[in-house]
Amino acid sequence: MSTDQGVVYLVGAGPGDPGLFTRKGEELLARAEVVVYDHLASPRLLDLAPPEALRICAGKSIGHCTLSQSEINETLVEHARAGKRVVRLKGGDPFVFGRGGEEAEHLRAAGIRFEVVPGVTAGVGVTAYAGIPITHRDSASAVAFITGHNGPNAEGGRLDWQALAQFPGTLVIYMGVTRLEAICHTLVKHGKPDSTPAALIESGTLPGQRTVAGTLATLPALVKEAGLGPPALFVVGDVVHRRPSLQWFEDLPLFGQRILITRPQDSARTSAKVLERLGAEVLVAPTVEIRPLDDFSELDRTIARLAEFQWLVFTSVNGVQAFFDRIEALDLDLRAVGHMKFAAIGPATAEALRRYYLRADVVPESFRSEALAEALAERVRGTRVLLARATRGRVVLKEELLKVADVEQIAVYQNVDADRLPESVMARLVDGSIDWITLTSSAITGRLHEVLGPELRERIGRTIKLASLSPVTTETASKLGWSVAAEASQYTWDGLVEAIVQASAINEKRRP
């Protein structure tokens, strides 16, 4: 038995932004067999677990996957005793108002080995994203983390509110939004000036983050007017005054934008990071999956006679990876293609070649099959060309090159249509809380159209904007009755992101 079987890892998921997740947490999720997660943990983190891992929602918030704490404890013990690697994914940090200590004690009493992986707690992460430093040399040299769950008037409360009112630093109050007025009143009653700066931060570190700042006297009314609610963090102290000069998250170019990526899972993970760095919330729902071939015999026979070809042409990053994965599987190395010249449809594909220490001899200025055919026409005249591609796709490249060269086309991987979109994504589409959908190929566009019902199809391109990677993809969307709000000028993922940024900036200027 592996040494990490029958173990529970209490892992902090951070305050919401999946980019704040720790490297150790990511490593453990990648090997998890069971994931028991809080509803506040980012859904993007669940994508890091193996597809076959059992996922159990254990949130205790009203209306969210209600498992009692004792049920959570027993669930962890049950799966660990079955020899499973269990990740208990907890919002924020496991030991900061997360009952991680209780769960660890229960595991110890049951004889189950556990490890704790700290996470970024909301009191540090959320405040930083709101531009409020919890300590500052000129404002506060101490900070207190407080739970407002029971409120200041609860019987048997363990907090000394009089002492907290006199605390010479920043108060960071978790779970206090529903008792905000009572907490403000109690602090003032015990001596905290009603002019003390205070702020409430809703959905901190997420694109829906909203911050209202005022004083202990004015904040409850301001929060009520703005309609803020949980999850929220309440901050009291002079450091709140620093927010106007230190806020940064809300200034990111895609802050507040909710974007659905429909690329295959492996590509989507890298793509999502680019959007998240710009402030967007990202959902991933592949409409097409990239998979190995079911039968490698034809590819293997072609690889065995690579000496017959002078050119090897790739039309995707996936094609490069799949081809050289097979080269390695056959116990060959780069000498098998040492005599060949290479063409790549775009810079991303060329970069994939460079990872194998190969340089593309041809990369067209416009990253389309037509442009690649034009760039290659004179170079490949009279030669033998091998096109490495997916099991399906456009045939224009082969047809154009056949006019000047002897061309063979070989499938090195397959595209498989997704049966449906995840239920969580469908719910977001239905409730209108997605702003953009990215389209990176005609196949992806067509499949998205197929998996959506008639009502949602009508909303795509209208209330939900589309961003297209290329004119070819845009044309496919148009034939399906969809209008595209942003099209990449350079047919790369970075070009598509830039198109969304520019379109979002224009829309922002048009707002009254």
Residues with a known catalytic role = 38, 60, 175
Residue of 415, 416, 412 lying closest to 329 (CA atoms): 412
Instruction: Decide: 180 and 172 in contact? Cβ < 8 Å.
Output: no
Structure tokens at 19: 């980019």
Alpha helices in 331-422 (DSSP H): 347-354, 369-376, 396-401
Which helix (DSSP H) or strand (DSSP E) does residue 466 occupy?
A: strand 465-468
Transcribe 41-108 into DSSP letters: S-HHHHTTS-TTSEEEE---STTS----HHHHHHHHHHHHHTT-EEEEEESB-TTSSSSHHHHHHHHH
- Quick one: residue 388, left, alpha or beta (phi over 0 = left, psi -120 to 50 = alpha)? beta
In angstroms, the Cα distances linking 251 to 39, 75, 241, 278 are 27, 42, 18, 9
Q: What span, in angstroms and rounded, lies between the C-alpha atoms of 79 and 84?
A: 6
**Beta strand pairing call for 85-90 and 34-37:** parallel
Helical pair 297-304 and 317-329, crossing angle rounded to 10 deg = 80
Sheet holding 384-390, edge to edge: 288-291, 406-417, 384-390, 311-314, 341-344
